[in-house]
Amino acid sequence: MERWISLLGLGVFVGFAYLISTNRQEVRWRTLAWGLALQLLLGLVILRLPLGLKLFQGLGSAVGWFLSFSDAGAEFVFGETYTDHLIAFKVMPTIIFFSSFIAILYYYGVLQWVIARLATLMIRTMKTSGGESLVCAANIFVGQTEAPLLVKPFLKDMTSSELHAVMTSGFATIAGGVMAAYIAFGIPPEHLIAASVMSAPAALAISKLMYPETEIAVTAGDHIKTKIEQPYTNAIDAATVGALDGMKLVLNVVAMLIAFLALVAAVNGILGVLGPMVNLPQLSLEWIFSLVFAPVAWLMGVSWADVGQVAILLGKKTVLTEFIAYLDLRTLMENTAKVTANQAPPNALPTLTERSQIIATYALCGFSNIASVGIQIGGIGALAPERQHDLARLGVRALVAGSLACFMTACIAGLLI
């Protein structure tokens, strides 16, 4: 029954995107059909095909094993008790290590080769332009402000629909460095990798449904014929610059966690005082999120008993950041493991079924939060100042599109597990 609800949810999310489309008459249904087909095909290979499942589980294990090497650096710097402070001394060093590794891959051209192959697949099947396809493919590996660097010379001439697609793909995926952090949390790496890959075609499909192309794109129908600038002198330079970039990301994440968690505590403190005055003693941000996002969680195929908890995760992801939501998901997964192992009474801790854990993992895997709107407007706007007004105009709509892409990916997962 829950699988049928996931299928219903997929239809509802696509239908909602069509309802708020800027030009329904210009929708290219081939793009939507191929976007959904690629999503479903990837989902079938990863979640249903035994060989594909084993392959991605092996890939996930290999990634987890590789990232564990960051522990050597963390232990040397922080001592043997570094795991006592998991976020600061284990998760954050993982971001630095993986950022350095990604830079080395970029220096040797490996990353560009993979991105180009993925972009070609989307160009030929979905008939999207070279520029938006390249950025969408890049967003699987790098961040929402780094991916547009690949098409910097073309940003100023992009159509509004292309810009919308560029922003949407940034909202619908996460960067490799941040993914490494979530793997360090204990989130299954095979599902994180699958979610980011599956959301890429969904992002293009839903973007073109909500903001159809009505102009002629400069890079329509082909690859981008441009030489990508090599920012590194050699592999050592790449490793060094990558590590420094990772450190900047770590500082941003730490600052965000401190500020946002403190703000949540402050808001909950105020709501805790106001709640009894209006006969709502349970009033809190979590309670509000559990109501507002409950329909979304249910439509993704989450079991009714888990809808409230997953709705809270979705709310925190959208209003705060997916980092905080994944931290909470990690806690719920640990609680479930304790209850399953009879280390805690069944109703003593909030838990999630394995199905709900997987669906939540897919739904949260994207930068689609309010703060990211400002990040994209500022980051992409710095690359193309003449498009600042367009970016601001498209920001909220692209955020909605990115969120819908993540929800669609979660629906596909719910349909197949």
Band of pLDDT at residue 227, cut at 50, 70 and 90: low
For residue 155, give both structure tokens.
């940003």
Q: How far apart are CA 106 and CA 416, in angstroms?
A: 34
CA nearest 413: which of 310, 293, 343? 310
Show Cβ contacts of residue 242 under 8 Å, excluding neighbours closer than 6 positions.
99, 100, 101, 102, 103, 104
- For residue 249, give the amino acid letter: L
Band of pLDDT at residue 21, cut at 50, 70 and 90: very high
Number of domain units in the chain = 1
Show Cβ contacts of residue 390 under 8 Å, excluding neighbours closer than 6 positions.
160, 163
Check: CB of residue 238 under 8 Å from CB of residue 53. no
Q: How far apart are CA 254 and CA 56, in angstroms?
A: 30
Check: CB of residue 280 under 8 Å from CB of residue 332. no
Range of the domain at 282: 2-416
For residue 396, give both structure tokens.
């909220």
For CA atoms 389, 390, 391, 395, give the dihedral sign. positive
Q: How far apart are CA 46 and CA 53, in angstroms?
A: 5
What 3-state class would DSSP assign to 159? coil
Q: What pLDDT does residue 112 have? A: 80
Looking at every residue in the chain, the average pLDDT score rounds to: 86
Q: What average pLDDT does the segment 46-71 reach?
A: 81
**DSSP assignment of 218-266, as one string?**
TTTTS----PPP---SSHHHHHHHHHHHHHHHHHHHHHHHHHHHHHHHH
Band of pLDDT at residue 302, cut at 50, 70 and 90: very high
**pLDDT of 224 strictly over 60:** no
Q: What pLDDT does residue 209 have? A: 94
For CA atoms 114, 237, 94, 370, give the dihedral sign. negative
Q: What average pLDDT does the segment 152-165 reach?
A: 86
Q: Using alpha carbons only, what angle is made at residue 42 by residues 37 and 46, rounded to the nearest 5 degrees?
A: 150
Q: How far apart are CA 375 and CA 128, in angstroms?
A: 25
Q: What pLDDT does residue 36 have? A: 92
Measure CA of the first residue to CA of the last residue in the chain; give whole Å. 12
Q: How far apart are CA 230 and CA 379, in angstroms?
A: 20
**pLDDT of 87 strictly over 80:** no
Query: What pTM value is reported for the model?
Result: 0.87
- What percent of the chain has pLDDT above 90? 29
Compare 113 and 206 and report the one with higher pLDDT.
206
Band of pLDDT at residue 150, cut at 50, 70 and 90: confident
**DSSP assignment of 317-379, as one string?**
HHHT-HHHHHHHHHHHHHHHHHHHTTSS-TTTS----HHHHHHHHHHH-S--SHHHHHHHHHH
Band of pLDDT at residue 228, cut at 50, 70 and 90: low
The angle that helices 189-210 and 50-67 make with each other, rounded to 10 degrees, is 110
CA nearest 365: which of 249, 146, 201, 193? 193
Q: How far apart are CA 268 and CA 327, in angstroms?
A: 18
